[in-house]
Amino acid sequence: NAGVTQTPKFRVLKTGQSMTLLCAQDMNHEYMYWYRQDPGMGLRLIHYSVGEGTTAKGEVPDGYNVSRLKKQNFLLGLESAAPSQTSVYFCASSLDPGQPMTYEQYFGPGTRLTVT
Partner 1 sequence: AQKVTQAQTEISVVEKEDVTLDCVYETRDTTYYLFWYKQPPSGELVFLIRRNSFDEQNEISGRYSWNFQKSTSSFNFTITASQVVDSAVYFCALSPWNDKIIFGKGTRLHILP
Binding site for partner 1 (CB under 8 A): 35, 40-45, 48, 58-59, 88, 90, 92, 99, 101-110
Least distance between partner 1 and beta carbon 99 (Å) = 6
40 or 97: CB nearest partner 1: 40
11 or 17: CB nearest partner 1: 11
DSSP string, 57-109: E-SS-TT-EEE-SSTTEEEEEESS--GGG-EEEEEEEE--SSSTTSS--EE--
14 or 104: CB nearest partner 1: 104
Alpha-carbon distance of 11 to 97, in angstroms, equals 35
